[in-house]
């Protein structure tokens, strides 16, 4: 396991470090049902915060072990039960004569094999979801590891019924998809792997549960921007989102090397993202060119934004802090009711809408394939995008479309 020296530490909006530790289900009754143990270190110094965190973490770990439920039965009974399970499995799967045949591995071994086989073919976020799914099913079963044969459809549906009450359908679908692929890999490799995949055929329509984002009404965006206060980093991130249509994590992942001049046009270069089509060149709107140049003068370990540079997640996302900060500002400015669908991603929808309509006056509607190029959407099976030199449109042409985006009426 990779040691994360800033584990359990998060930043509040004022830049003060907090200690946040997840509370296991069996301990929540002692913490008034809370899911997280949260305490302020009272310090903006990461070194002081780590010392505070270490002292708290040691005591919390001691309490966690003290309260952890113990399996029923004596140690001898537990060992005997394990031996009986092995004997039962051996009876159903007699050893093969002749050359030894490799048997199907346990869930953790299959996960490691999956990560090894697809490590360079899947995105980091996808691999992270796979690892998370395995961890969650083992926590549910209260097992350190388990053989694939012990997880049947009844076990799966029972877990899914529980998850649907606690998680979003998209999260449940991510777990199902990740575990289904592990079972498929096992079936394709091993003679004794389960032939029925218990993770298939559950009919969870995650797409239908996705939120349809709404654009901000005139005046609302100005209120949200004002609610950001003197947070210059979030103001800069928001402005780039307003005039580029980039996804939040794409903005937060920007480094000095992602700002390039192509054919005389200053551009953002997105090298990878949510989909294959995410890689693209986006001309920088004239309204934010001065802002981008200022950001280039004082990078943070190569990144344009400080909080992105210190965010270290297993899935590679850099936008966690920014997502929370924007949501707090939106709730403060617009309230809770009726604003659930208005988020940072709404800025992307606003850009798409303005391009489709042809700017404020509606006189120059942008072709659909050009909008797809700017936003990183799929343009069709016959067109692919690798580098800007293979564009069907030059940065000079795309720059004219970007300049159509305006917020004069929305910000009043």
Residue 321 confidence class, pLDDT cut points 50, 70, 90: very high
Could you read off the pLDDT of 339-351 as tens digits, one per residue?
A: 888 999 999 999 9
> Residue 184 is encoded by which pair of tokens?
């498929």
Which has more confidence, 307 or 85? 307
Exposure string (b/e) for 361-395, b if CB count within 10 Å is 16 or more?
A: eeeeebeeebbbbbbbeebeeeeebeebeebebeb
Euclidean distance between CA atoms 330 and 215, whole angstroms: 13
Residue 90 has pLDDT above 80, yes or no: no
* Helix or strand (DSSP H, E) at 328: helix 320-334
The CATH topology of domain 104-209 is DNA polymerase; domain 1 (1.10.150)
Which among 8, 28, 5 has a CA at the least distance from the CA of 18?
Answer: 8
Euclidean distance between CA atoms 74 and 79, whole angstroms: 9
Residue 208 has pLDDT above 60, yes or no: no
CA distances from 63 to 24, 68, 140, 284, 351 (A): 11, 8, 21, 53, 51
Could you read off the pLDDT of 394-412 as tens digits, one per residue?
A: 899 999 999 999 988 766 6
Which among 125, 398, 386, 382 has a CA at the least distance from the CA of 278?
Answer: 386
**Residue ranges of domains in the chain:** 9-67, 104-209, 220-402
Residue 97 confidence class, pLDDT cut points 50, 70, 90: low
Report, as an integer, the average pLDDT of 143-163.
90
Question: Count of alpha carbons within 13 Å of 179, Cβ hemisphere only?
Answer: 29
Average pLDDT taken over every residue of the chain: 84
What single-letter DSSP state applies at residue 366?
P
Per-residue pLDDT at 290: 95
Could you read off the pLDDT of 171-184 as tens digits, one per residue?
A: 888 889 999 999 99
Give the pTM. 0.58
- Superfamily of domain 220-402 in the CATH hierarchy: Intergrase catalytic core (1.10.443.10)
| CA dihedral (391, 395, 397, 398) positive or negative | positive
Strand 259-262 with 36-40, pairing = unpaired
Which among 197, 169, 178, 164 has a CA at the least distance from the CA of 128?
Answer: 178
Quick one: 397 exposed, middle or buried, by C-beta within 10 A (0-12, 13-18, 19+)? middle
Residues 395 and 267: beta-carbon distance below 8 Å = yes
Going through 107-219 in order, the beta strands assigned E by DSSP cover: none
Residues 65 and 57: beta-carbon distance below 8 Å = no
Euclidean distance between CA atoms 408 and 412, whole angstroms: 7
């Amino acid at each position: 396991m990779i040691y994360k020296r800033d584990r359990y530490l998060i930043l509040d909006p004022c830049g003060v470090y907090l200690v946040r530790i997840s509370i296991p289900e069996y301990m929540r009754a002692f913490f008034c049902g809370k899911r997280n143990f949260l305490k302020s270190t009272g310090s903006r110094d990461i070194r002081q915060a780590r010392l505070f965190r270490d002292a708290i973490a040691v005591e919390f770990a001691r309490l966690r072990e003290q309260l952890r439920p113990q399996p029923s039965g004596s140690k001898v009974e537990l060992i005997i039960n394990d031996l009986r399970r092995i004997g039962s499995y051996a009876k159903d799967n007699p050893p093969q004569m002749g050359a030894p045949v490799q048997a199907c591995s346990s869930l953790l071994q299959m996960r490691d094999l999956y990560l090894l086989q697809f490590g360079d073919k899947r995105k980091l976020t996808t691999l992270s979801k796979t690892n998370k799914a395995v961890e969650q099913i083992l926590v549910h079963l209260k097992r350190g590891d388990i053989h694939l044969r012990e997880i049947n459809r009844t076990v799966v549906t029972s877990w899914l019924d529980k998850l649907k009450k606690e998680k979003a359908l998209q999260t449940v679908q991510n777990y199902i998809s990740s575990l289904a692929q592990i079972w498929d890999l096992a079936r394709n490799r091993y003679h004794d792997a389960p032939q029925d995949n218990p993770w298939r055929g559950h009919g969870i329509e995650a797409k239908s549960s996705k939120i349809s984002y709404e654009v901000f009404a005139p005046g609302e965006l100005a209120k949200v921007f004002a609610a950001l206060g003197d947070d210059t980093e979030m103001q800069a991130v928001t402005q780039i989102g307003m005039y580029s249509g980039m996804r939040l994590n794409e903005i937060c992942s920007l480094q000095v090397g992602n700002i390039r001049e192509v054919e005389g046009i200053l551009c953002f270069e997105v090298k990878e993202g949510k989909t294959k089509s995410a890689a693209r060149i986006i001309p920088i709107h004239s309204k934010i060119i001065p802002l981008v140049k200022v950001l280039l003068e004082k990078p943070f370990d190569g990144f344009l934004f400080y909080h992105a540079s210190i965010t270290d997640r297993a899935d590679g996302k850099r936008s966690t802090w920014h997502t929370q900060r924007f949501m707090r500002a939106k709730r403060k400015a617009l309230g809770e009711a009726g604003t659930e669908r208005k988020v940072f991603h709404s800025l992307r929808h606003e850009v798409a809408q303005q391009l489709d309509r042809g700017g404020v006056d509606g006189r120059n509607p942008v072709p659909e394939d050009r909008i797809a190029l700017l936003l990183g959407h799929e343009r069709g099976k016959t067109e692919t995008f690798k580098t800007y030199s293979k564009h069907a449109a030059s940065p000079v042409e795309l720059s004219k479309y970007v300049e159509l985006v305006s917020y004069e009426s929305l910000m009043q």
